[in-house]
Structure 1
Amino acid sequence: MFKLSRRQMLAGVGAAAALPFAAPTVARAQTTEMRLGLITPVGHSWNDAALRLAELLKEKTDGRLNMTVFHSGQLGNESAMMQQLQSGAVDMGIIQAAELGSRVNHIAAINAPYLVRSTDAVAKFVRHPEVLKLFDVLPQETGTIGLGWAITGMRAVFSAKPIENLGGLNGMKLRINPTPVYRDFYQLLGAAPTPIPTPQVFDAMSNGQVDGLEADIEFSWNQRFDKVAKSILRMNALFMPAAAVASGRVWRAMPEADRALIAETVKTVLDEQIDSLAGEEPALIEKFRETGVPMHEIRQEDTTDLIAAFDKIWLPKAPVIARLREIGASL
């Protein structure tokens, strides 16, 4: 039987170790599977942004970072997704400020009314460095890493009865997002916040279970709430951003180069989402006007006392609101 000498065996080992690019090729072939969850359906601009993120990460890494997007609450509601983010079972999420704000008053501040008064201003506001610094509390408070804001436009009230001003909201059974900020704001106006699951709102307005709905323009047009509304009140008060967040557990274990790549790519897709939504909203508003449903806007001078009453409740909980108002006024 032919045997190799010790010198020949060592030479063979050395030659194998010297093969060019052998180890890097193995490393590049390894695929990292990632999961991103959000509650919005196919066709919503947040979902489009998530799909674009997955596409770009796959493209930039030759398939090494492979992200699956779970839309429409396939991983559960936002509370359930936050638990999965904290445990590392989900890598990333697009989570509404309402959910984060229900846990952290400092984040709830971004939902305060009249920080800005137009969607164009929202687009500038969420990119301001100090508004992005709201995320600094997330790792300690929620176990997540904030990477940027996605937006909706300014929200409006779709009323099943004719109303023209803030006084018309008094006594109205109004379906709103149940975040504490929204609840306190509408209760100051005399409305009765009424929780109704989103898929049931259209029928609830039709049968009188609720008198109206408060929602953003994009969502309301997609759901055609104009068909059950007798007036639209553009509040120019509130908007609902969502945070692109990463699991803190996953983020800490990730190579620094991948963290930088993901952060950069998230910024790219969120910039696209913000610019697209702000650019398309005027056309949606015009579509609502063309339906013939009367549309009214709230005058700025009618909101001074309302802002003071709200701030009396919320400034002690979230002092940063005062600074956010200054930023909004400068835009």
Structure 2
Amino acid sequence: MSLTRRHFVQAAAGGAASSLLAFSTPSRAAAAKEFRLGLITPAGHSWNRAALAFGESLKKSTDGRLSVTVFHSGQLGNESAMMQQLQSGALDMGWIQAAELGSRVASVAAINAPYLVRSTTAVASLVRTPEALKLLDVLPRETGTIGLGWGITGMRVVFATKPIASPADLKGMKLRINPTPVYRDFYQLLGAAPTPIPTPAVFDAMSNGQVDGLEADIEFSWNQRFDRVSKVLMPMNALFMPFAPLVSGRIWQTLDAKDKELIRELVKQSLDAQIKDIVTTELGLVDKFKASGIAFRNAGDFNPAPLIAEFDKIWLPKAPQIAQLRAIGAKLA
């Protein structure tokens, strides 16, 4: 029997309502999901290992109902491209550097400010404080993503192809940096010429004199063996680069409360392990660098107070949270 136009419209409306209800209140059985997680670090990096550990825990905790496929080494694009995918819902999860987030939201850049802390052990404590975690609260509104915490790298160091003895000696040097605005302003205040270069090209840029030095964390630097193209390694005791595990807001709203709680808890466990990994292995990597023969220069005699004052003139109006984080960090030193 054929439907009349009226019956057809009623049936269609009823079907649409049923579909909407099913989408908005998914059953546990219908919530099976394989999350796609992107990050830029290579296989074997501590961030990548932590992402894999999170995926394994999630799959085990849900008997395979929820799982994670990790796309490392920027397979899904750079962090800017992954942020766009997260915003659209094309990517479920991304472990994104604070540099990328801070370039989009000035207040989040507070976590990248110089001299918040002076050691990797203090970094580990700072990123777990309520004040540091609160920086992520603006992400749903500003970026359409949900931030689940902070992971870390160690304190950043400078490798130089020429002799240097102090941060003051960076004046006039072409220095490869992470291009986040906070780092750019910091190194410009030191008189360096910040030179952003894609990560895969950095080693050659050091070798051929395109740049005079670079700043990076110890773990990444050992993996890349920048000591082979440098004369000096100088710990700056100033900067670190955390990352935040993000979930697309479009994906997050489809999850029920129990799954959200589980994901938050398992991400936290993974971050705790990653942070412990960095703190416990960094000294061993420093010893490896020392054994390689590269000269170490201690920046401890450098007085950063005038530099901090100049930096804060630029950044406190944009990210007033810096003052609070620096006060907390001073107690952790």
Tell me the TM-score normalised to structure 2 length.
Answer: 0.90
Give the Å deviation of 1:28.
4.2
Q: Deviations over 1:241-286 (max 9, x none)?
A: 0001111111111111000000000000000000011110011111
Determine the structure 2 residue equivalent to 1:103.
104
Determine the structure 2 residue equivalent to 1:264.
265
Determine the structure 2 residue equivalent to 1:222.
223
Q: What is the identity percentage for the equivalent residue pairs of Structure 1 and Structure 2? A: 69
Within-5 A mapping of 1:87-102: 87-102=88-103
Determine the structure 2 residue equivalent to 1:85.
86
Do the aligned partners of residues 180 and 27 (structure 1) sit closer, same or farther apart at CA in structure 2, a change above 3 Å counting?
closer
> Distance in 1 between the 2:55 and 2:28 partners?
21
Amino acid across the alignment from 1:134: L
SS at match of 1:48: helix
Determine the structure 1 residue equivalent to 2:171.
170
Work out which of the two has the higher radius of gyration on C-alpha atoms and give 1 or 2.
Answer: 1
Tell me if 1:211 matches 2:194: no
Tell me if 1:317 matches 2:314: no
Give the Å deviation of 1:298.
1.3
> Distance in 2 between the 1:301 and 1:45 partners?
31
Give the Å deviation of 1:31.
2.8
Q: Deviations over 1:92-119 (max 9, x none)?
A: 1100000000000100010000000000
> Distance in 1 between the 2:131 and 2:71 partners?
31
> Distance in 1 between the 2:61 and 2:28 partners?
16
Determine the structure 1 residue equivalent to 2:308.
307
Give the Å deviation of 1:30.
6.2
Give the Å deviation of 1:91.
1.1
Gaps of 5+ in 1: 1-25
Q: Deviations over 1:167-197 (max 9, x none)?
A: 2100000000000000000000110011211
> Distance in 2 between the 1:125 and 1:147 partners?
16
Q: Contact 2:236 / 2:299 at 8 angstroms: preserved in 1?
A: yes
| Aligned residue pair count | 306
Q: Contact 1:29 / 1:64 at 8 angstroms: preserved in 2?
A: no
Determine the structure 2 residue equivalent to 1:5.
none
CA RMSD of aligned residues (A): 1.2
> Distance in 1 between the 2:237 and 2:214 partners?
15
Q: Contact 1:236 / 1:297 at 8 angstroms: preserved in 2?
A: no
Within-5 A mapping of 1:109-120: 109-120=110-121
Q: Deviations over 1:116-147 (max 9, x none)?
A: 00000000010011111111111100001110
> Distance in 2 between the 1:27 and 1:136 partners?
28
> Distance in 2 between the 1:33 and 1:280 partners?
32
Give the Å deviation of 1:299.
2.0
Amino acid across the alignment from 2:141: Q
> Distance in 2 between the 1:215 and 1:154 partners?
8
Give the Å deviation of 1:87.
1.0
Tell me if 1:194 matches 2:195: yes
Do the aligned partners of residues 27 and 254 (structure 1) sit closer, same or farther apart at CA in structure 2, a change above 3 Å counting?
closer
Gaps of 5+ in 2: 1-26
Tell me the TM-score normalised to structure 1 length.
Answer: 0.90
> Distance in 1 between the 2:51 and 2:155 partners?
22
SS at match of 1:148: coil
